[in-house]
Structures are given as C-alpha cells and as structure tokens.
Structure 1
Amino acid sequence: MALRIGIIGAGSIGCYVGAALAMGGAETSFLARERIANIVAEHGLRISDFRGLDHHIAPAHLCFFTDIGAMADRECVIVTVKSGDTEAVAADLAKVIDSKAIVISLQNGVGNAAVLQKALPNHTVLAGMIAFNVLQGERGHFHAGTDGEVIIQESAMAQELAAFFLASGTPFETHDNMTSVLWSKLLLNLNNPINALSGIGLKDQLSQRAYRLCLAALQREALAVLGSAGIPIQKMTAVPATWMPALLSLPDFVFKRFAQSMLAIDPVARSSMWEDLERGRKTEVEWLNGEVIRLGENYGLSAPANERVRQLIQQAERGGRRDYKGDELLKLISA
C-alpha cells in the first residue's frame, strides 16, 4: 500500500513537493486555501523545473481539501505553511491527525519543528528544508527555477520519502544536524528580502554587484552571530559560506566568471518574499532577518543591516516601495 502523505499548506512549495511525491507513487492529499483548491479543480496541477521536468496531474487524480479534518488518516504530514501560521496549524493538527502520524516541517526559518513538537508532544516531528525556489504561475503551474535539494532529518521516514522523490528527479538528502542545516539555509534566504525589494528576477538581481553587496552585508552579520553562538555552517553551495560575502563583493565580470552555478537560475525565478508582497500577504521577514537580530541580541551583538532590511520589508507590507535600485538599497542598508 502506498504511503499516505498529507501536505499542510499547499502553496508554491506544498504543491510542488506534493506533486513530486505523487509522481513517485505516494498517496498524496493537499490542504489548501480555497483559491488554490479551485484552480487545481479546474486545471489540475503542473510542476516543472529548470532542468526540464514538466509533469501534469489531472484534476480527477488530485485530492485537495480546505478542511484539516481530511488529514486524519495520513501516515506522514508535511507542513509547508508560512512560519507565522505554524502555531495555529499545529494546534489544529493536534485535534485530528493519527497518533502514529509523523510530522515534517518543510518551512523557512529555524524554529518551526520546535513549535510543532510543543503542540504534538506524543508525535515524531522531523525538521526539514527546501533549498530551491518555486514560483506559482497560472493555471495550477508551479515552477522550480533554481537548483537545490530537499533535506530532512535523518530517520526511517526520510529514507522512505527518498524513494518517492526519485521519479521527479528532485535532489534529496538526509542530515543528522538540522539546526546547522536550517541556519545554513537561512544564510542563503537572506537574499529573499533583497530580491523582494528589488522588484526584479533573481538572476538579474544577483548579476548586479550593488544588490550582492546588500546580501553580503546581511550575511556578514549573520556569520558573526552564528560564530558567537557556536552554530556550525554547512556547505550548501559550491563556495563555503564563510567565503560567500567576499565572493558576492567581486566586480560583476569576475563574479559571473567564478560563480556561474549561483547564476544557474531560470530568468523567471523570484523569491518567495517577492511573491508574498505581490499577493498582499505578510512575509516571513521576522523568521529570516528577525532570527539573526534576536540571536545576536542573546550574545550582545547588533545586526543593523538586517534590522534596516526588516524595516524596509515591513514598510513594503504596508504598501511601501519595492522597486529599489541596487545603489539605493545599499545606501539605505549601509546608513
């Protein structure tokens, strides 16, 4: 019998992951907002990536729900909601899921698994993360425009899921130190607000030195904080994390020569924070830059660049600018 998987929060990441698992033979159900449920009911679910994957699941073969009660029989529940919704979702899950169900967090930020575990003390809760970007298109289409893997805490369930990801070619790994992995991913995700404030595609943004200098400033502060906290950093790109600020600071022609893998991005790719602002949703800036700021405070360190970016994103959430040129943004962050 196929593994029964429930996707809680079927937005861009949830729909992509759920469809990839279904390709491998998992019996996948999706909990989604009514808007998404209506779209896939009409058009089905299509996933694609920059490597050439293009797979469509017809509406008749999809199970989308708007009531969390539909997750009661799931053996594995994968949570992909925004970090700000984790606590409420955890409380709802505690009322309905099977006592033996395993819960996995595939979310941005570093503390979501702990929030889920607190609400579900008798369940196994596994931390996880996704290193690639997924952009929601039209007619139920979700496109992975950047490279990266799914990483889940080492466990028997993670090994079982690995087999289901093979059909879609989705890179998959397990790891036994997810705290380190999640903070390492957060370092990369510090580009999310820079991209959101630029108003342009990821590839275009990362090709311009002024925007990269903004990201380098955020990463330098984060690396200093993580060093004080004694949190080791995983190598998640071709370049070690500690070298990244220096690489980002190189002139454009040098960067493009030595960092080709970083620019192996679909031109349409945008950050999830850009998508949140585009759709009028609250962003996850508190669970990205805010985490750096709060951890720094614990060790007597300030993170002024991250604080300024947090303020600019909060202004954008209220309708403020999100079309800054690179030099403009760098000046604001450096002030």
Structure 2
Amino acid sequence: MIIDIFGAGSLGLLFYSRLAQLEENVQLNLWTRTEAQAALIRQEGVHFYPSADAAALSQSLSISAKGNIQTTSHIDHTGDWPRADVILVTVKQTHMTPDLIRQLSKRVAEHTIIIGLQNGVRTDQLWNDKWKVYAGITTEGARKLSANTVIHSGHGETVLGQLVQRNNTTDTGYEPEVAACRQSDAIFLLLNLWTKAGLSASLSNNIEMAIYRKLIINAVINPLTALWRISNGELLNSTERISVMRQLYEEAIHVYDKADIEWSESLWDDILQVCRSTASNTSSMLADVQEGRRTEIEWINGSIVEIGRRHQAAVPGHEWVCRLIEAMTIKEAD
C-alpha cells in the first residue's frame, strides 16, 4: 500500500511516526512545506515520544526515515512514481489552497482515497468531483516540538466517513465497480494498519454528525486555551473557566437546533472528557497564536457564527472569541 501524507505538522508527524514503525509492506511518502524540514527528517528521522509521560522522562524513539520525504514543490517531478492508494491531508484549513490541491492531484489515481483531517466544516468546493474523499475526525493529541520531534500527547480516536460530493453530477470516466472495490479494500486495509500502529480508528455512516460534533469540541476548547495560554486540561481548573466553556457550548447547540443539525445529549460530557484525555496538550490554536500564525478561528467559531447568521440565532460569545483571536494573530508563518 502506498500512503502519502501531506503536511508535516504535529498530526502529520504523528501519523508518519506511527506508520513508519510497522513491518508491513507500506510505502510512505511524506510531503513537507520546506526543504529544510524534509532534509532534516531524511538525515535524522523523527524523534517520537509515544506519550506525554515518555516526554517528561525524555524517553523518545528514534524513527528512521522511511519512504520518500520531499517538499510539495518537488511533486511535479514525480510523474513516474506509482500513484497513492491513500492520501492523508493533515495540513490546516489555512493551507487548504487551490495550489495545494493542484499538487495533490499529481498523486491521485482513479482508485485513490483522500482523507481530509482538517478542523471546521467541510470544504467540498476544493475537491475534484471525480475523487473519493473521506472526512477524518480525530481526537488524537499531538505536539510538535521541532521540525522532526513530536509527542503523542493524548490518545483518542479517528473516525472516517465518505463525503458525498454535493455537486457530483460529473461523468467520472472511471470503471465504477473496479474503482469502488479497490477503494473499499484500501480503506479497510488502512484501518487495519492504523490499529497495528497503536491508533484507534473506525468508519462512520454518519460522518456529518461527527464533523459537527468535533466542530463544537474545537469551538469550546481551542479559542479559550489560546486566549488564556493554557493546556486543554487547565480549562477545568476553575468554575469560571467552565462557565465560559458552557456559554460557548449552549450557543452552539442553539444554532444547531435552529439549523436542524444533529447532536448528541452526551456532547457536553464529551467535551469535558477530551479536556481530560488531552490534559497536557497544547491546542493547535494556542500553538498558532504563540507563533504569530494565522489560526483556524474562521473555520471553527467563525463557522458557528455564520450558521447562526443564516438562521437568525445570536452567538455573542463566538463572535467575541473570533474578534479576540484574530486580533492576537500578528504575522503569518514563514
């Protein structure tokens, strides 16, 4: 199986490190943004801490570079490479650009499965209608310490589900039965590999509900950790913090009710459990703010604001955190 991973941030390095330890016949291709990072991983591999406790004890595993590690700018020179069976897209929403999709298309064949692991709502307009695209919703905690060092800071679960393209009226030109069979085989083989790599993954027949569940979790946790400069677990250290979390939660479920978006009665408890299970984790939004990068607030809390606007539901808490986070972003990443 050929697995391409686009993005070598915390999540990309986590999945690469876990899959690179497998003895199965897996060809990995890791695509980075900079040559400096690609060269460092080729030379030194990845320093991988399998847990937060291991990091505290400085007990890292040295994962030798496996497969090809290249920048996305090199992708135009790989025309003779076999195309990917699975593509994991781990870049953030801020990097989901038409240029990235063009680069990614060089690795797609008719049987390729693409899995997008972005926060926020779905972005169908970016994907080619011919492609088989899955959404991946993960609660795995990962923290990137350097260009080739990552901590698996919290064990969670990844849920995958196929997106039905909303504008899919195009004749793909593929042989549907053959392509569908290969796609089915690939997704189940990937789930098996994921399990062997020490990760929890499953398929969902209702990925839309999982997407909107994760949206609320992110909208409650991420901006508050970024504003208060605290870890996920520290959100639960005072009743005042929990009350602000609760306000964001109640505004969001009110919007969901107005928009007929399905949600579970256990959702509040799920948010608290994510805080506990990823207690030492630095949220991606906090990491972005600390580095002065553009955050994903537009696609997370901004999505809830937009849904509320369409359905005449006020969400003042989400509007304020959007404005506060946007004001904290002072520069783009290099």
Q: TM-score normalized by structure 2?
A: 0.80
Structure 2 CA distance for partners of 1:84 and 1:139, relative to 1, 3 Å: closer
Find out whether 1:294 has 2:306 as its counterpart.
yes
Structure 2 CA distance for partners of 1:304 and 1:244, relative to 1, 3 Å: farther
Deviation at 1:281, TM superposition (A): 1.6
Find out whether 1:136 has 2:144 as its counterpart.
yes
- Judge conservation of contact 1:110–1:179 (CA < 8 Å) in 2: no
Alignment: residue pair count: 295
Deviation at 1:54, TM superposition (A): 5.6
The 3-state SS of whatever aligns with 2:154 is coil
Find out whether 1:115 has 2:121 as its counterpart.
no
Find out whether 1:75 has 2:112 as its counterpart.
no
Q: Report the equivalent of 2:20.
A: 22
1:41 partner letter: R
The 3-state SS of whatever aligns with 1:286 is coil
Q: Report the equivalent of 1:44.
A: 45
Q: Report the equivalent of 2:315.
A: 303
Find out whether 1:241 has 2:247 as its counterpart.
no
Find out whether 1:106 has 2:117 as its counterpart.
yes
2:149 partner letter: H
Q: Report the equivalent of 1:174.
A: 203
Q: Report the equivalent of 2:69.
A: 64
- Judge conservation of contact 1:223–1:242 (CA < 8 Å) in 2: no
1:38 partner letter: A
Q: Report the equivalent of 2:187.
A: 158
Find out whether 1:263 has 2:276 as its counterpart.
yes
2:93 and 2:82 mapped to 1: Cα distance?
22
1:180-219 superposed matches below 5 A: 180-190=209-219, 191-219=221-249
1:300 and 1:276 mapped to 2: Cα distance?
31
1:14 and 1:217 mapped to 2: Cα distance?
32
2:321 and 2:61 mapped to 1: Cα distance?
37
Structure 2 CA distance for partners of 1:29 and 1:177, relative to 1, 3 Å: same
- Judge conservation of contact 1:110–1:287 (CA < 8 Å) in 2: yes
Q: Report the equivalent of 1:313.
A: 325
1:128 partner letter: G
Query: Pick from 6, 9, 23: which aligns with 1:8?
Result: 6
1:184 and 1:272 mapped to 2: Cα distance?
18
Deviation at 1:123, TM superposition (A): 1.4
In structure 1, runs of 5+ residues without a counterpart are 249-258, 320-335
Q: Report the equivalent of 2:179.
A: none
- Judge conservation of contact 2:293–2:330 (CA < 8 Å) in 1: no
The 3-state SS of whatever aligns with 1:137 is strand
Structure 2 CA distance for partners of 1:86 and 1:304, relative to 1, 3 Å: same
Percent identity between matched residues is: 24
2:323 and 2:122 mapped to 1: Cα distance?
22
Deviation at 1:22, TM superposition (A): 2.8
Q: TM-score normalized by structure 1?
A: 0.80
Structure 2 CA distance for partners of 1:96 and 1:139, relative to 1, 3 Å: closer
Higher mean C-alpha displacement, 84-93 vs 276-285 = 84-93
Deviations 1:207-231 (A, max 9, x none): 2332222221111111111111222
Q: Report the equivalent of 1:148.
A: 156
